[in-house]
Protein backbone atom coordinates (compact mmCIF):
# COMPACT_ATOMS: atom_id res chain seq x y z
CA UNK A 1 0.00 0.00 0.00
CA UNK A 2 1.50 3.33 -1.05
CA UNK A 3 0.75 4.98 2.26
CA UNK A 4 2.66 2.52 4.43
CA UNK A 5 5.13 3.88 6.96
CA UNK A 6 7.88 6.12 5.55
CA UNK A 7 11.20 5.75 7.30
CA UNK A 8 9.48 4.27 10.32
CA UNK A 9 10.11 0.87 8.82
CA UNK A 10 9.55 -1.10 12.00
CA UNK A 11 5.92 -0.02 12.20
CA UNK A 12 3.07 -1.97 10.73
CA UNK A 13 0.02 0.14 9.87
CA UNK A 14 -2.56 -0.25 12.62
CA UNK A 15 -6.16 -0.82 11.72
CA UNK A 16 -8.58 2.04 12.15
CA UNK A 17 -12.24 1.95 12.91
CA UNK A 18 -13.88 3.98 10.13
CA UNK A 19 -16.31 6.64 11.30
CA UNK A 20 -19.91 5.53 11.19
CA UNK A 21 -22.36 7.44 8.98
CA UNK A 22 -24.19 9.97 11.08
CA UNK A 23 -26.41 12.95 10.73
CA UNK A 24 -24.07 15.94 10.80
CA UNK A 25 -24.83 18.72 13.23
CA UNK A 26 -24.84 22.19 11.79
CA UNK A 27 -21.77 24.35 12.40
CA UNK A 28 -21.87 27.56 14.39
CA UNK A 29 -19.80 29.79 12.11
CA UNK A 30 -18.53 33.05 13.61
CA UNK A 31 -17.00 36.01 11.84
CA UNK A 32 -13.34 36.95 12.30
CA UNK A 33 -14.38 40.03 14.27
CA UNK A 34 -15.91 37.84 16.98
CA UNK A 35 -12.54 36.26 17.81
CA UNK A 36 -11.65 39.02 20.22
CA UNK A 37 -14.77 38.36 22.29
CA UNK A 38 -13.39 35.04 23.52
CA UNK A 39 -10.97 35.44 26.43
CA UNK A 40 -9.13 33.48 29.04
CA UNK A 41 -12.17 33.82 31.33
CA UNK A 42 -14.44 31.83 29.00
CA UNK A 43 -16.79 29.14 30.24
CA UNK A 44 -15.16 25.88 31.43
CA UNK A 45 -14.53 23.20 28.81
CA UNK A 46 -16.83 20.18 28.86
CA UNK A 47 -15.06 16.91 29.68
CA UNK A 48 -17.17 15.00 27.14
CA UNK A 49 -15.59 14.81 23.69
CA UNK A 50 -16.88 13.27 20.51
CA UNK A 51 -15.82 13.39 16.91
CA UNK A 52 -18.27 16.19 16.17
CA UNK A 53 -18.54 17.94 19.55
CA UNK A 54 -16.68 20.89 17.98
CA UNK A 55 -19.79 21.64 15.92
CA UNK A 56 -21.56 23.01 19.01
CA UNK A 57 -18.81 25.61 19.47
CA UNK A 58 -18.15 28.88 17.66
CA UNK A 59 -16.05 28.10 14.60
CA UNK A 60 -13.90 30.91 13.23
CA UNK A 61 -12.28 30.94 9.78
CA UNK A 62 -14.59 28.31 8.26
CA UNK A 63 -16.13 28.83 4.79
CA UNK A 64 -19.88 28.84 4.26
CA UNK A 65 -20.66 26.30 1.55
CA UNK A 66 -23.69 27.11 -0.60
CA UNK A 67 -24.83 23.49 -1.05
CA UNK A 68 -25.06 21.57 2.25
CA UNK A 69 -26.05 18.31 0.51
CA UNK A 70 -22.96 18.36 -1.71
CA UNK A 71 -20.79 19.13 1.31
CA UNK A 72 -22.26 16.17 3.24
CA UNK A 73 -21.65 13.84 0.28
CA UNK A 74 -18.03 14.93 -0.05
CA UNK A 75 -17.40 14.51 3.68
CA UNK A 76 -18.96 11.05 3.60
CA UNK A 77 -16.68 10.14 0.69
CA UNK A 78 -13.61 11.41 2.55
CA UNK A 79 -14.66 9.44 5.63
CA UNK A 80 -14.52 6.25 3.54
CA UNK A 81 -11.03 6.98 2.15
CA UNK A 82 -7.90 5.35 3.63
CA UNK A 83 -5.92 7.35 6.22
CA UNK A 84 -3.05 9.43 4.84
CA UNK A 85 -0.82 8.74 7.86
CA UNK A 86 -0.87 6.14 10.61
CA UNK A 87 -1.14 6.33 14.38
CA UNK A 88 2.19 4.63 15.02
CA UNK A 89 3.98 7.29 12.99
CA UNK A 90 2.32 10.09 14.98
CA UNK A 91 3.26 8.39 18.25
CA UNK A 92 6.87 8.08 17.09
CA UNK A 93 6.96 11.82 16.28
CA UNK A 94 5.57 12.59 19.73
CA UNK A 95 8.40 10.58 21.30
CA UNK A 96 10.97 12.54 19.28
CA UNK A 97 9.40 15.89 20.23
CA UNK A 98 9.60 14.85 23.88
CA UNK A 99 13.37 14.66 23.41
CA UNK A 100 13.37 18.18 21.94
CA UNK A 101 11.47 19.43 25.00
CA UNK A 102 14.38 18.17 27.13
CA UNK A 103 17.04 19.76 24.92
CA UNK A 104 18.14 16.43 23.43
CA UNK A 105 16.87 16.97 19.87
CA UNK A 106 15.95 19.89 17.58
CA UNK A 107 12.81 20.31 15.46
CA UNK A 108 13.21 21.53 11.88
CA UNK A 109 9.74 22.28 10.52
CA UNK A 110 9.43 23.89 7.12
CA UNK A 111 7.67 24.13 3.79
CA UNK A 112 5.26 26.25 1.79
CA UNK A 113 3.10 28.97 3.26
CA UNK A 114 0.25 27.25 1.43
CA UNK A 115 0.40 24.39 -1.04
CA UNK A 116 -1.38 24.94 -4.33
CA UNK A 117 -2.91 22.78 -7.03
CA UNK A 118 -1.17 24.79 -9.75
CA UNK A 119 2.41 24.34 -8.47
CA UNK A 120 2.00 20.66 -7.63
CA UNK A 121 4.80 18.69 -9.29
CA UNK A 122 7.53 16.23 -8.35
CA UNK A 123 10.40 18.68 -8.83
CA UNK A 124 8.99 21.20 -6.34
CA UNK A 125 8.45 18.47 -3.74
CA UNK A 126 11.94 17.03 -4.31
CA UNK A 127 13.67 20.41 -4.08
CA UNK A 128 11.98 21.40 -0.81
CA UNK A 129 12.71 17.97 0.65
CA UNK A 130 16.33 18.27 -0.47
CA UNK A 131 16.83 21.66 1.23
CA UNK A 132 15.32 20.28 4.44
CA UNK A 133 17.80 17.38 4.22
CA UNK A 134 20.66 19.85 3.77
CA UNK A 135 19.48 22.00 6.68
CA UNK A 136 19.14 18.87 8.80
CA UNK A 137 22.76 17.89 8.14
CA UNK A 138 23.97 21.40 9.01
CA UNK A 139 21.96 21.49 12.25
CA UNK A 140 22.88 17.95 13.26
CA UNK A 141 26.59 18.59 12.65
CA UNK A 142 26.54 21.87 14.59
CA UNK A 143 24.31 20.76 17.44
CA UNK A 144 25.57 17.15 17.64
CA UNK A 145 21.99 16.08 18.32
CA UNK A 146 19.16 14.43 16.35
CA UNK A 147 17.18 16.73 14.05
CA UNK A 148 13.45 16.02 13.73
CA UNK A 149 12.44 16.82 10.14
CA UNK A 150 8.78 17.80 9.71
CA UNK A 151 7.37 19.28 6.51
CA UNK A 152 4.66 21.87 6.09
CA UNK A 153 3.68 19.57 3.25
CA UNK A 154 1.06 17.04 2.10
CA UNK A 155 -1.88 18.98 3.54
CA UNK A 156 -0.94 22.64 4.19
CA UNK A 157 -3.64 24.17 1.96
CA UNK A 158 -6.07 26.17 4.09
CA UNK A 159 -5.15 29.71 5.15
CA UNK A 160 -6.73 31.91 7.83
CA UNK A 161 -7.77 35.39 6.74
CA UNK A 162 -7.85 38.62 8.70
CA UNK A 163 -10.94 39.69 6.74
CA UNK A 164 -13.75 37.59 5.26
CA UNK A 165 -13.79 39.79 2.15
CA UNK A 166 -11.25 41.58 -0.01
CA UNK A 167 -11.83 44.55 -2.29
CA UNK A 168 -10.14 45.55 -5.56
CA UNK A 169 -11.11 48.51 -7.70
CA UNK A 170 -14.45 48.80 -5.96
CA UNK A 171 -15.28 45.10 -6.35
CA UNK A 172 -15.78 43.17 -3.10
CA UNK A 173 -15.46 39.36 -3.06
CA UNK A 174 -15.03 36.63 -0.44
CA UNK A 175 -11.39 36.17 0.56
CA UNK A 176 -9.27 33.39 -0.88
CA UNK A 177 -8.95 30.72 1.83
CA UNK A 178 -6.63 28.19 0.20
CA UNK A 179 -6.92 25.83 -2.75
CA UNK A 180 -8.86 23.26 -0.71
CA UNK A 181 -11.63 25.85 -0.22
CA UNK A 182 -11.82 28.22 -3.21
CA UNK A 183 -9.75 29.69 -6.06
CA UNK A 184 -7.35 32.61 -5.88
CA UNK A 185 -8.51 34.24 -9.12
CA UNK A 186 -10.34 37.48 -8.33
CA UNK A 187 -13.75 36.65 -9.77
CA UNK A 188 -17.05 35.68 -8.18
CA UNK A 189 -17.10 32.10 -9.47
CA UNK A 190 -13.60 31.29 -8.21
CA UNK A 191 -14.31 32.58 -4.72
CA UNK A 192 -17.34 30.35 -4.10
CA UNK A 193 -16.31 27.61 -1.61
CA UNK A 194 -16.34 24.27 -3.44
CA UNK A 195 -16.37 21.07 -1.32
CA UNK A 196 -14.96 19.03 -4.24
CA UNK A 197 -11.67 20.84 -3.66
CA UNK A 198 -11.27 18.85 -0.45
CA UNK A 199 -11.20 15.62 -2.47
CA UNK A 200 -8.52 17.05 -4.74
CA UNK A 201 -6.53 18.23 -1.71
CA UNK A 202 -6.73 14.72 -0.24
CA UNK A 203 -5.47 13.16 -3.49
CA UNK A 204 -2.61 15.67 -3.78
CA UNK A 205 -1.65 15.09 -0.14
CA UNK A 206 -1.54 11.33 -0.70
CA UNK A 207 0.60 11.73 -3.84
CA UNK A 208 2.93 14.19 -2.09
CA UNK A 209 3.43 11.94 0.91
CA UNK A 210 3.89 8.92 -1.33
CA UNK A 211 6.80 10.70 -3.06
CA UNK A 212 8.24 11.91 0.25
CA UNK A 213 8.16 8.36 1.60
CA UNK A 214 10.00 7.14 -1.50
CA UNK A 215 12.66 9.85 -1.10
CA UNK A 216 13.02 9.11 2.62
CA UNK A 217 13.45 5.34 2.27
CA UNK A 218 14.51 4.69 -1.34
CA UNK A 219 18.13 5.83 -1.11
CA UNK A 220 17.74 9.51 -2.01
CA UNK A 221 18.17 10.51 1.65
CA UNK A 222 21.18 8.23 2.21
CA UNK A 223 24.00 10.05 4.00
CA UNK A 224 26.38 8.92 1.24
CA UNK A 225 24.53 11.33 -1.06
CA UNK A 226 25.24 14.35 1.15
CA UNK A 227 27.50 15.84 -1.56
CA UNK A 228 24.82 15.41 -4.23
CA UNK A 229 22.07 17.37 -2.50
CA UNK A 230 23.30 20.81 -3.59
CA UNK A 231 20.82 22.53 -5.87
CA UNK A 232 22.14 23.63 -9.25
CA UNK A 233 21.55 27.36 -8.67
CA UNK A 234 23.53 27.19 -5.40
CA UNK A 235 26.58 25.64 -7.09
CA UNK A 236 28.66 28.82 -7.03
CA UNK A 237 27.18 30.62 -4.04
CA UNK A 238 28.57 31.31 -0.58
CA UNK A 239 26.05 28.98 1.05
CA UNK A 240 26.71 26.30 -1.56
CA UNK A 241 30.43 26.52 -0.82
CA UNK A 242 29.87 26.34 2.94
CA UNK A 243 27.60 23.35 2.51
CA UNK A 244 30.07 21.60 0.19
CA UNK A 245 32.84 22.04 2.77
CA UNK A 246 30.60 20.57 5.48
CA UNK A 247 29.60 17.70 3.16
CA UNK A 248 33.26 16.78 2.70
CA UNK A 249 33.69 16.64 6.48
CA UNK A 250 30.63 14.42 6.75
CA UNK A 251 32.08 12.16 4.03
CA UNK A 252 35.28 11.80 6.04
CA UNK A 253 33.26 10.92 9.14
CA UNK A 254 31.30 8.34 7.16
CA UNK A 255 34.57 6.80 5.96
CA UNK A 256 35.72 6.45 9.55
CA UNK A 257 32.38 4.92 10.61
CA UNK A 258 32.52 2.47 7.72
CA UNK A 259 36.00 1.39 8.74
CA UNK A 260 34.68 0.91 12.28
CA UNK A 261 31.99 -1.45 10.99
CA UNK A 262 28.95 0.81 10.49
CA UNK A 263 28.57 0.24 6.76
CA UNK A 264 26.47 2.09 4.22
CA UNK A 265 23.99 -0.80 4.24
CA UNK A 266 22.87 -0.03 7.78
CA UNK A 267 19.27 1.36 7.74
CA UNK A 268 20.30 4.46 9.69
CA UNK A 269 22.68 5.33 6.83
CA UNK A 270 20.18 4.74 4.02
CA UNK A 271 16.94 6.30 5.27
CA UNK A 272 15.66 9.28 7.21
CA UNK A 273 12.60 9.96 9.34
CA UNK A 274 10.25 12.54 7.83
CA UNK A 275 6.85 13.62 9.07
CA UNK A 276 4.13 15.97 7.81
CA UNK A 277 2.17 18.77 9.46
CA UNK A 278 -0.33 21.51 8.73
CA UNK A 279 -2.59 24.00 10.44
CA UNK A 280 -5.81 22.45 11.68
CA UNK A 281 -8.18 24.94 10.10
CA UNK A 282 -10.80 23.31 7.85
CA UNK A 283 -12.52 21.28 10.55
CA UNK A 284 -15.04 19.36 8.39
CA UNK A 285 -12.08 17.93 6.41
CA UNK A 286 -10.12 17.13 9.58
CA UNK A 287 -13.09 15.36 11.13
CA UNK A 288 -13.64 13.30 7.98
CA UNK A 289 -10.06 12.01 8.15
CA UNK A 290 -10.07 11.22 11.86
CA UNK A 291 -9.99 7.53 12.75
CA UNK A 292 -10.10 5.46 15.92
CA UNK A 293 -6.85 3.53 16.35
CA UNK A 294 -7.59 -0.14 16.96
CA UNK A 295 -4.52 -0.70 19.14
CA UNK A 296 -5.01 2.17 21.57
CA UNK A 297 -8.66 3.16 21.19
CA UNK A 298 -7.55 6.76 20.70
CA UNK A 299 -8.65 9.03 17.86
CA UNK A 300 -5.99 10.29 15.43
CA UNK A 301 -6.45 12.93 12.77
CA UNK A 302 -4.93 10.94 9.92
CA UNK A 303 -4.55 13.92 7.56
CA UNK A 304 -1.07 14.62 9.06
CA UNK A 305 1.29 13.45 11.76
CA UNK A 306 1.26 16.82 13.54
CA UNK A 307 -1.33 19.61 13.59
CA UNK A 308 -1.23 23.10 14.98
CA UNK A 309 -3.84 25.60 16.06
CA UNK A 310 -3.32 29.11 14.75
CA UNK A 311 -3.27 32.51 16.40
CA UNK A 312 -6.75 33.30 15.04
CA UNK A 313 -8.45 30.06 16.13
CA UNK A 314 -6.96 29.24 19.56
CA UNK A 315 -9.92 30.48 21.66
CA UNK A 316 -10.31 28.34 24.78
CA UNK A 317 -14.01 27.78 24.09
CA UNK A 318 -13.68 27.64 20.29
CA UNK A 319 -14.36 24.83 17.85
CA UNK A 320 -10.74 24.26 16.86
CA UNK A 321 -9.49 23.76 20.42
CA UNK A 322 -12.47 21.50 21.10
CA UNK A 323 -11.63 19.29 18.11
CA UNK A 324 -7.89 19.13 18.82
CA UNK A 325 -8.22 18.23 22.48
CA UNK A 326 -9.77 14.91 21.45
CA UNK A 327 -7.20 13.73 18.88
CA UNK A 328 -3.97 12.06 20.00
CA UNK A 329 -1.61 13.62 17.43
CA UNK A 330 1.22 15.84 18.65
CA UNK A 331 -0.06 19.42 18.56
CA UNK A 332 1.40 22.87 17.99
CA UNK A 333 0.11 26.17 19.40
CA UNK A 334 0.97 29.33 17.47
CA UNK A 335 1.62 32.15 19.94
CA UNK A 336 2.08 35.88 19.24
CA UNK A 337 2.90 38.78 21.55
CA UNK A 338 -0.86 39.04 22.24
CA UNK A 339 -0.87 35.79 24.23
CA UNK A 340 -1.49 36.20 27.95
CA UNK A 341 0.74 33.83 29.99
CA UNK A 342 -2.19 32.59 32.09
CA UNK A 343 -4.24 31.89 28.99
CA UNK A 344 -1.38 29.87 27.49
CA UNK A 345 -1.25 27.74 30.64
CA UNK A 346 -5.02 27.15 30.44
CA UNK A 347 -4.82 26.27 26.75
CA UNK A 348 -1.99 23.78 27.32
CA UNK A 349 -3.97 22.23 30.16
CA UNK A 350 -7.01 21.78 27.90
CA UNK A 351 -4.98 20.19 25.10
CA UNK A 352 -2.65 18.15 27.32
CA UNK A 353 -4.32 17.50 30.69
CA UNK A 354 -2.02 14.53 31.39
CA UNK A 355 1.08 16.67 30.73
CA UNK A 356 2.49 14.14 28.29
CA UNK A 357 5.95 15.12 26.97
CA UNK A 358 5.99 15.69 23.22
CA UNK A 359 2.26 16.36 22.99
CA UNK A 360 2.53 20.19 22.91
CA UNK A 361 4.87 22.36 20.86
CA UNK A 362 4.57 26.10 21.50
CA UNK A 363 5.48 27.96 18.30
CA UNK A 364 6.26 31.60 19.11
CA UNK A 365 5.97 34.29 16.42
CA UNK A 366 6.26 37.87 17.62
CA UNK A 367 9.25 39.79 16.21
CA UNK A 368 12.66 40.19 17.86
CA UNK A 369 11.87 43.04 20.28
CA UNK A 370 8.58 41.52 21.45
CA UNK A 371 10.36 38.18 21.81
CA UNK A 372 12.79 39.61 24.35
CA UNK A 373 9.99 41.24 26.34
CA UNK A 374 7.13 38.72 26.11
CA UNK A 375 8.70 35.26 25.80
CA UNK A 376 10.31 35.21 29.28
CA UNK A 377 6.88 35.66 30.91
CA UNK A 378 5.42 32.79 28.87
CA UNK A 379 8.32 30.48 29.74
CA UNK A 380 8.05 31.32 33.43
CA UNK A 381 4.27 30.79 33.53
CA UNK A 382 4.54 27.39 31.84
CA UNK A 383 7.40 26.40 34.16
CA UNK A 384 5.44 27.45 37.28
CA UNK A 385 2.55 25.28 36.09
CA UNK A 386 4.92 22.31 35.72
CA UNK A 387 3.95 21.88 32.07
CA UNK A 388 6.27 20.14 29.63
CA UNK A 389 6.35 21.75 26.19
CA UNK A 390 8.72 22.05 23.25
CA UNK A 391 9.55 25.70 22.55
CA UNK A 392 9.92 26.52 18.83
CA UNK A 393 10.58 29.79 17.00
CA UNK A 394 8.56 30.86 13.95
CA UNK A 395 10.58 33.92 12.87
CA UNK A 396 8.50 34.46 9.73
CA UNK A 397 5.01 35.65 10.66
CA UNK A 398 6.05 38.47 12.97
CA UNK A 399 8.20 40.04 10.26
CA UNK A 400 5.93 40.49 7.23
CA UNK A 401 6.16 43.95 5.67
CA UNK A 402 4.99 45.63 2.45
CA UNK A 403 7.63 46.57 -0.11
CA UNK A 404 7.40 49.91 -1.99
CA UNK A 405 6.04 47.92 -4.96
CA UNK A 406 3.12 46.73 -2.81
CA UNK A 407 4.34 43.11 -2.62
CA UNK A 408 4.45 41.42 0.77
CA UNK A 409 7.98 40.51 1.83
CA UNK A 410 10.12 39.67 4.84
CA UNK A 411 13.59 40.86 5.74
CA UNK A 412 16.19 38.14 6.23
CA UNK A 413 17.91 40.33 8.84
CA UNK A 414 14.66 40.60 10.83
CA UNK A 415 14.14 36.84 10.64
CA UNK A 416 17.67 36.23 11.86
CA UNK A 417 17.25 38.82 14.63
CA UNK A 418 14.12 37.09 15.93
CA UNK A 419 15.92 33.74 16.00
CA UNK A 420 18.82 35.35 17.86
CA UNK A 421 16.37 36.77 20.41
CA UNK A 422 14.73 33.34 20.79
CA UNK A 423 18.05 31.70 21.66
CA UNK A 424 19.09 34.59 23.91
CA UNK A 425 15.89 34.37 25.96
CA UNK A 426 16.26 30.61 26.45
CA UNK A 427 19.87 31.08 27.53
CA UNK A 428 18.66 33.71 30.00
CA UNK A 429 15.82 31.54 31.34
CA UNK A 430 17.73 28.26 31.43
CA UNK A 431 15.16 26.63 29.12
CA UNK A 432 15.62 24.74 25.86
CA UNK A 433 15.27 26.20 22.34
CA UNK A 434 13.58 23.18 20.80
CA UNK A 435 13.26 24.03 17.13
CA UNK A 436 12.47 26.34 14.25
CA UNK A 437 9.37 26.65 12.06
CA UNK A 438 9.93 28.23 8.62
CA UNK A 439 8.01 29.13 5.49
CA UNK A 440 10.49 28.14 2.80
CA UNK A 441 10.90 26.50 -0.58
CA UNK A 442 13.57 24.69 -2.54
CA UNK A 443 12.96 27.00 -5.48
CA UNK A 444 15.17 29.95 -6.43
CA UNK A 445 12.47 32.52 -5.64
CA UNK A 446 12.89 36.20 -4.74
CA UNK A 447 10.26 36.76 -2.06
CA UNK A 448 12.27 37.68 1.08
CA UNK A 449 14.81 40.51 0.89
CA UNK A 450 18.38 40.20 2.14
CA UNK A 451 20.63 37.23 2.74
CA UNK A 452 24.16 36.69 1.43
CA UNK A 453 22.92 37.07 -2.14
CA UNK A 454 21.37 40.42 -1.17
CA UNK A 455 17.92 40.27 -2.71
CA UNK A 456 16.61 43.85 -2.89
CA UNK A 457 13.12 45.33 -3.17
CA UNK A 458 13.78 45.78 -6.88
CA UNK A 459 14.54 42.05 -7.24
CA UNK A 460 11.26 40.88 -5.73
CA UNK A 461 9.23 40.92 -8.93
CA UNK A 462 11.71 38.77 -10.89
CA UNK A 463 10.77 35.43 -9.28
CA UNK A 464 7.93 36.21 -6.89
CA UNK A 465 5.83 33.02 -7.15
CA UNK A 466 4.00 32.72 -3.84
CA UNK A 467 0.23 33.16 -3.93
CA UNK A 468 0.16 33.70 -0.18
CA UNK A 469 3.05 34.76 2.11
CA UNK A 470 6.72 35.28 1.13
CA UNK A 471 9.08 32.31 1.61
CA UNK A 472 12.79 31.92 2.16
CA UNK A 473 14.50 30.50 -0.91
CA UNK A 474 16.94 27.58 -0.72
CA UNK A 475 20.04 29.77 -0.27
CA UNK A 476 18.44 31.87 2.48
CA UNK A 477 17.15 28.72 4.24
CA UNK A 478 20.60 27.16 4.25
CA UNK A 479 22.21 30.40 5.46
CA UNK A 480 19.74 30.48 8.35
CA UNK A 481 20.54 26.84 9.15
CA UNK A 482 24.24 27.71 9.47
CA UNK A 483 23.33 30.58 11.83
CA UNK A 484 21.21 28.26 14.01
CA UNK A 485 23.88 25.54 13.94
CA UNK A 486 26.42 28.00 15.31
CA UNK A 487 24.11 28.84 18.23
CA UNK A 488 23.52 25.14 18.90
CA UNK A 489 27.27 24.51 18.80
CA UNK A 490 27.95 27.32 21.29
CA UNK A 491 25.20 26.05 23.59
CA UNK A 492 26.66 22.54 23.42
CA UNK A 493 30.20 23.76 24.19
CA UNK A 494 28.98 25.93 27.06
CA UNK A 495 27.11 22.95 28.52
CA UNK A 496 30.23 20.80 28.25
CA UNK A 497 32.31 23.46 29.99
CA UNK A 498 29.74 23.82 32.76
CA UNK A 499 29.67 20.05 33.24
CA UNK A 500 33.47 19.91 33.35
CA UNK A 501 33.57 22.71 35.96
CA UNK A 502 30.96 20.91 38.04
CA UNK A 503 33.02 17.70 38.02
CA UNK A 504 36.13 19.56 39.07
Contact 182, 190 (CB under 8 A): yes
Give the E-state strand segments of 169-303 in sequence order. Answer: 171-174, 275-279, 290-293, 299-301
Report residue 29: phi and psi, to 5°. -90, 130
CA distance 272 to 222: 8
pLDDT, residue 84, reads 98
Tell how strand 290-293 and strand 299-301 pair up: antiparallel
Tell me, what's the pLDDT at 495?
A: 77
CA dihedral 251, 253, 259, 265 (to 10 degrees): -60
Q: CA 80 to CA 291: how far, in whole Å?
A: 10
Residue 290 backbone phi and psi in degrees, to 5:
-90, 135
Low-confidence ranges of the chain (pLDDT < 70): 1-26, 28-46, 223-225, 227-237, 239, 251-252, 254-258, 260-267, 269, 498-504
Q: At what angle do helices 412-429 and 474-503 cross, to 10 degrees?
A: 20
- pLDDT at res. 443: 86
Nearby residues of 249 by Cβ (< 8 Å), 6 or more positions away: 141
- Contact 431/470 with Cβ under 8 angstroms? no
What is the DSSP annotation of 435-449? Answer: EEEEEB-SS----SB
Q: Tell me if 371 sits within 8 A of 392, measured CB to CB.
A: no
pLDDT computed for residue 467 by the predictor: 76
pTM value?
0.89
User: Cβ distance 89 to 275 under 8 Å?
Assistant: yes
Report residue 489 CA to chain centroid gap: 24
**pLDDT tens profile 439-480:** 999 888 989 998 877 888 888 888 888 878 999 998 899 899
Distance CA 430, CA 463 (A): 42
Query: Residue 221's pLDDT is what?
Result: 80
Predicted pLDDT of residue 228: 65
Q: Which of 305, 236, 288, 340 is nearest to 8 (CA)?
A: 305
CA-wise closest residue to 356 among 108, 101, 148? 101
Amino acid sequence: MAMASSSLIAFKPTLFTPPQPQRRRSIVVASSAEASKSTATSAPISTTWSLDSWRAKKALQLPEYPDQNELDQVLQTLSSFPPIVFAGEARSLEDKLAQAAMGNAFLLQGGDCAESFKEFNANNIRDTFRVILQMGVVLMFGGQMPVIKVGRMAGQFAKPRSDSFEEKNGVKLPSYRGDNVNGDAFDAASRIPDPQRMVRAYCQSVATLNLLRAFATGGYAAMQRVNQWNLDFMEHSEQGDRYRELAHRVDEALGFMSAAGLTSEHPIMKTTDFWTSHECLLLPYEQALTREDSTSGLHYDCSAHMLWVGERTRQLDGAHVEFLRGVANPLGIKVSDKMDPNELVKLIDILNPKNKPGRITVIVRMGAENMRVKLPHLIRAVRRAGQIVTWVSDPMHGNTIKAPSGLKTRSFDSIRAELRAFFDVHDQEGSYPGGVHLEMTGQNVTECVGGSRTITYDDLSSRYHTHCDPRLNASQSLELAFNIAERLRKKRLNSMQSLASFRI
